Amino acid sequence: MKYKEIVVKNSTPFRNVLASSVLMLGVLSPAHAVVFTYDGYGGFVPGTQQMAPPATATFQGYALGTGERGQVSWGTPTGAEGPFGGQSGLEINSNNPNLFVGQSISLGQSVNFGYLTHYNEPITQAGGDLNSVKVGYYLRIYADSVLVYSMDFTGSNAFGLNVWETSNTQPCPNSAPAGTALSHNGNTHTSNGNPQSTCDDAFSFGPTSGSSQFSYLGHLYDISFAGFFDQSAPGGSFTPGGTFWSSEEGTDRGYVQLRLNQVPEPGTMALLGLSLLGLRIVQQLRRPVSHLPGPSRLA
């Protein structure tokens, strides 16, 4: 008695399926690694400050061609913290307009888009508080040295930086649990649990986060930003509500981080799925078929 083994041999159509699948997978892979760089720069917009009279603010530091300045200070000089002769003040990117110009960024990587430094001195009289000021900022992204995305956060899109001065009456209790109302000269803000004392000042900007997209060589990319973070990228934690607290008579910094990701496109994902399915079919068909359950007599 002889048994017949049935084996499905490779055929030309199946070899074509395999070749087509490999070709499609090759198409989905980029021909070269795209090199991305970015520019991030900006400053305070003179004349946009909100203060109770007779307080004034001084805009100084670097000056961009669009009018923004790198620093702003206010209040009666009371100390020696920072570069403002004893006044409280804010500074963008260490007063360096080129700090984040020509910087590299990789997909999935968080980088600094900018940061804000607060030199915190006690405010001793009513009307000395800075309540808010506008920050104009610019973002440029380049792929292989080609400008692929440009966004001006100016005018109605400018960041609105909110400032909450708190009581400077000594001594300052050592903590301010979440929900504690902190106020100074009628300007009140509620603690998110981060301030180290009831004399700390708070900052936040709107919006605290945002995103946009651009395409390059047929691929879609997503840009997102958020702030403030309590440490430089890629580390740090996003502070609740984007608000960071600055210690009284100290210097503190809040970071805005930028992230770039490639977006999977529906058509690309479908093509990839078909390619993988084709490879799976070929693998299945190349396997020997098991013996038939019963004997088969040869004619």
Tell me the domain boundaries of the chain: 36-263
| The model's pTM | 0.77
For residue 153, name the pLDDT band (cuts at 50, 70, 90). Answer: very high
pLDDT of 197 above 70: yes
3-state secondary structure of 233: coil
99-108, 157-166, 254-263, 285-294: the lowest-pLDDT one: 285-294
Can you tell me whether residue 90 is helix, strand or coil?
Answer: strand
What per-residue confidence (pLDDT) applies to 289?
Answer: 47
Mean pLDDT rounded to a whole number for the chain: 81
CB 167 within 8 A of CB 145: no
- Distance between CA atoms of 87 and 188, rounded to whole angstroms? 21
Among 131-145, 186-200, 242-256, name the one with the lowest average pLDDT: 186-200
pLDDT value at position 274? 54
One DSSP character per residue, 8-60 reads: PPP-HHHHHHHHHHHHHHHHHS-SSPPPEEEEEEEEE-TT--EE-TT--EEEE
**Buried b vs exposed e over 255-270: b needs ≥16 C-beta within 10 Å?**
bbbbbbeeeeeeeeee
What are 236-295's pLDDT values in tens digits? 999 888 988 898 888 999 999 999 999 997 755 445 555 555 556 545 555 554 444 444
∠ Cα 285 288 293 (to 5°)? 115
Q: What is the Cα–Cα distance from 8 to 16, expressed in whole angstroms?
A: 16
